[in-house]
Amino acid sequence: MNFYAFSFCGAELLALGTGALFWPAERLLVVSDLHLGKSERMARRSRQLLPPYETRDTLARLDALIALHDPACVVCLGDSFDDLDAGHALPEAEVMTLSRLMAGRNWVWIEGNHDPGPLEFGGTHLSELTTGPLTFRHIAQEGARGEVSGHYHPKTSVPLRGRVVTRPSFLVSETRLILPAFGTYTGGLRSTDHALTSLMGPGAYAILTGPLPCAVPLRA
C-alpha cells in the first residue's frame, strides 16, 4: 500500500493510492462518493443494464482498506448511495458486508446531493463534521478553510512523452482539499475544468492516485 504524505491546515494526512484519505493522528479514514447501488439505479431510471457488481467491488476495496488501517472512525463524504431507493434495494449480502465493516468503529455518513435525508443503516448522519482544524462536507463552500470535500470526482491528466496518463486525483490548496470518488462506477471531472480551477485558486496541486501516488501542479 502506497501513499503520499502532506500537511493540510496543520493536519498531517496521507493521500492513499486507492483514493481514500487517512489521518493517522485521529485514526480517521475518509472515502467520498461511493455511489453504492449505481447499476440498480441505472436499470431503474435509464433502462441500461450495467454489470451489477460495482457495490460488491466498492465494498471489497473498502474492506481491504479498513483491514489495513484499522480506523477508529470512517467518514463517508456524501453520495454514498446513488439515491435513496438504491440504499433500500441493496442486496442482503452487501448489507451484511456493510454492517460488518461498521461494527466496532465510529461511522459518519455525510449527506450528499444524491443521498440526502436519513438512511436505514446505523452510524451517525451529519450534513458536516468538524474535527480539529478540518471540516468534512460533501460540496465545497465559498470561502471555507480547512475544508475536506468530495462531489466533483476530480481527475488529472499528465502528458508523458507522447502518451497521457489520466487518473482520479486529490486536489489540494492552502485552504481546501477535494477527494476523488471511491466508488467503482464513477467517472471524473477534469481538474482543468473551470468549476475546479476557480475553487482551487492559484498554487494548488493534484495528487494522482495509483500504485505510486504523486503530486503535480494544477494546470489552469
Partner 1 sequence: MTQLPAPITQWFARKGWQVHPHQQAMLDARDAPASLLIAPTGGGKTMAGFLPTLAELHDAPRAGLHTLYVSPLKALAADIKRNLRAPVEEIGLDIRIEDRTGDTTYTQKRRQRADPPHILLTTPESLALLLTYEDAPRIFAGVQRIIVDEIHALAESKRGDQLMLALSRLQSLAPDLRRVGLSATVEDPQAIADFLACHPQPTQIIEADPGPDPDISMLETEEAPPWAGGGGKYAIPAVLEQVRAHNTTLIFHNTRAQAELFFHHLWLANEDPLPIGIHHGALAKEQRLKVEQAMVDGSLKAIVCTGSLDLGIDWGDVDLVIQIGAPKNVKRLVQRIGRANHRYNAPSKALLVPANRFEIVECKAALDAALAHDLDGDPRGPGPRDVLCQHILNCAAAGPFDAATLYGEITTAGPYAGLSLEKFEQCLDYCATGGYALRAYDKYQRLVQRGGKWQLRDPRAAAQIRMNLGTIIDTETLKVRLKARRGPGSGGTPLGEIEEGFASTLTQGDTFLIGGQIVKYEGLNEMTVQVTRSPSDKPRIATFMGTKFATSTQLSTRILSILQQDSWPDLPGHTAQWLQLQRERSKLPEPGRLLIESFPRDGRANTVIYGFAGRNAMQTLGLLLTQRMEAQGLHPLGFVATDYAVLIWGLEPLRDPTPLFDMSNLREGLETWLAGNAVMKRTFRNSAVIGALIDRMTRGARKSGRQATFSSDILYDTLRKYDPDHLMLDITREEAMKGLIDFGRVEEMVQRTQGRVDLIELDRVTPLAAPLFLEVGRVPVKGLAEERLLAEEAQRLFDDAKLPEQITAPKRWAVPY
Q: What are the beta bridge partners of residue 129?
A: 136
Question: Do the Cβ atoms of 2 and 165 come closer than 8 Å?
Answer: no
Fill in the DSSP letter of residue 36.
B
* Least distance between partner 1 and beta carbon 16 (Å): 11
Fill in the DSSP letter of residue 132.
T
Give 39 or 108: the residue with its C-beta nearer to partner 1. 39
Give 28 or 37: the residue with its C-beta nearer to partner 1. 37
Give 35 or 137: the residue with its C-beta nearer to partner 1. 35
By the criterion CB under 8 A, which residues form the site for partner 1? Answer: 1-7, 39-40, 43-44, 46-54, 56-57, 91, 152-153, 155, 157-166, 172, 174, 184-190, 193, 203-205, 208, 210-217
* Least distance between partner 1 and beta carbon 75 (Å): 21
Residues 6+ apart with CB under 8 A from 45: none
Fill in the DSSP letter of residue 37.
T
* Least distance between partner 1 and beta carbon 200 (Å): 11
* Least distance between partner 1 and beta carbon 98 (Å): 17
Give 119 or 189: the residue with its C-beta nearer to partner 1. 189
Give 126 or 158: the residue with its C-beta nearer to partner 1. 158
Q: For residue 144, which of 185, 165, 173, 171 has the smallest C-alpha distance?
A: 173
* Least distance between partner 1 and beta carbon 3 (Å): 7
- Give the C-alpha separation, 115 to 118, whole Å: 8
Assign residue 23 a region: left if phi > 0, alpha if psi is -120 to 50, beta otherwise? beta
